Structure 1
Amino acid sequence: MDHLRYAGLPFERQRDILVEIVRGEPIVHDVLRAARDFGLPQWRIVAGVIYNTVWNVLTGRPSGHGVKDIDLFYFDDADLSWEAEDHVIKRGHDAFAGTALPVEIRNQARVHLWFPEKFGEDYAPLKDCDESIARFSSKTHAVGIRLEADGTIDICAPFGLDDIFSFMVVPNRVLYNEPGYNEKVRRALQCWPELTVEPW
């Protein structure tokens, strides 16, 4: 199987292929529908379940191979308390009870409050959910999708999609996160040895 068959194509073509892939994979499309019904502000399904699903489809691996959970981001700066986010997380237990994998819900408006303690580096407050995607430790991982009310799929990919379709893992050095990047690389290579990795 030619897993690199979509590498190097224009962004618009790769976007269409990504949409086709996620529509055909219940593991992704079911959670998109559930997230749309859940109705969080500025929500997106992000990162692993998206690019991992692409790699699985293009290498003929089973649906869900290597995917631990599904990350659901949203942005609500009206209440930055942990209690408000925790309330959303608890409501999500019922809303996503029928999905194939656990759904991890996180309010991106709160990241600057806990990031320095966890990672030892300052983190400027975000203006919106999409800005957080541009700060991921890998440009390859920086992708988010949302199912709109009209059924279209909106894609946020600040660094494009070619790294995903080229099976390249490329660091994003906007923040220092070499340990996190290296750990993601180590795990990814165990699941998809076809990957080429750019060192931090």
Structure 2
Amino acid sequence: MAPWLNPAVSPLSLQAERFVSEIVRNRFNRAILDAWSDLALPDGWLVAGCLFQTVWNLQSGRLPHEGIKDYDIFYFDADDFSAAGEARVQARVERLLGFLGVPIEVKNQARVHLWYEEHFGHPYPQLATAREGIDRFLIPSTCVGVRRTASGHELYAPNGLEILYAGLITPNPLTPHLTLFREKAASYQSRWNWLQVREAA
């Protein structure tokens, strides 16, 4: 499967169609994507937990949105590296989507390298796109992003979707931080006990 699937260029694969159809069963994902053009975020993507956790919930027979703590949006604006600029974008998104009543976190991937080491204890490279931020999630099966376009949905899944549906949890060689990986893996497995955790791919 191609890692970046654009229906304007080619149809989504059957597995990608299944993924998109499942993540929009979460009414919060669906509402965020329905408002996507109004958000007007440069290189914007709905990412991570709100997507793969929706899929895992459905595989476990739970409500699509059950236990999902927040909804993460990435964008990329290299013209404004400031925390104040990011805060202004966060505030604008909250004005548009605050009616949903769920936490939405908006992060400019152009500035992650400025704060990541202080927060997580490891250096982080300066990125060139929001997709590079998706590439670096601690667990490869969780590296997913979706956005709406005029013609449908774009899906970015650099490691494919097979390992996500298989529930395979392994470290990402791009961010080989085992302590952080083990904490996150334990958290996920405590909620979805059928996940398979391996420290070697």
Give the TM-score taking structure 2 as reference length. Answer: 0.88
For residues 49-91 of structure 1, what are the alpha-carbon distances to aligned partners after superposition, in whole Å with 9 as ceiling and x for unaligned?
1111011112211121221100000000111111111111122
Residue matched to 1:177: 177
Residue matched to 1:134: 135
For residues 151-195 of structure 1, what are the alpha-carbon distances to aligned partners after superposition, in whole Å with 9 as ceiling and x for unaligned?
x11011111111111111121021232222112111111211111
**What is the alpha-carbon distance in structure 2 between the residues aligned to residue 63 and residue 24 of structure 1?**
6
Partner AA of 1:43 in structure 2: G
Answer yes or no: is the 8 Å Cα contact 2:25–2:64 preserved in 1: no
Compute the displacement of 1:28 (Å): 1.2
Answer yes or no: is the 8 Å Cα contact 1:42–1:75 preserved in 2: yes
Partner AA of 2:163 in structure 1: D
**What is the alpha-carbon distance in structure 2 between the residues aligned to residue 50 and residue 13 of structure 1?**
17
**What is the alpha-carbon distance in structure 2 between the residues aligned to residue 43 and residue 173 of structure 1?**
24
Compute the displacement of 1:139 (Å): 0.1
Q: 4+ residue runs of structure 1 moved beyond 3 angstroms?
A: none
Answer yes or no: is the 8 Å Cα contact 1:23–1:29 preserved in 2: yes
Question: Cα 1:181–1:35, aligned 2, differ >3 Å: closer, same or farther?
Answer: farther
SS of 2:90's equivalent? helix
Residue matched to 1:124: 125
Residue matched to 1:154: 154
Answer yes or no: is the 8 Å Cα contact 2:51–2:144 preserved in 1: yes
Answer yes or no: is the 8 Å Cα contact 1:46–1:71 preserved in 2: yes
SS of 2:72's equivalent? strand
Residue matched to 1:105: 106
Answer yes or no: is the 8 Å Cα contact 2:26–2:65 preserved in 1: no
**What is the alpha-carbon distance in structure 2 between the residues aligned to residue 159 and residue 199 of structure 1?**
17
Partner AA of 2:52 in structure 1: Y
**What is the alpha-carbon distance in structure 1 between the residues aligned to residue 82 and residue 56 of structure 2?**
37
Answer yes or no: is the 8 Å Cα contact 2:27–2:65 preserved in 1: no
Give the TM-score taking structure 1 as reference length. Answer: 0.88
Kindly, what percent of the aligned residue pairs are identical?
33
What value does the CA root-mean-square deviation take over the aligned residues?
1.6
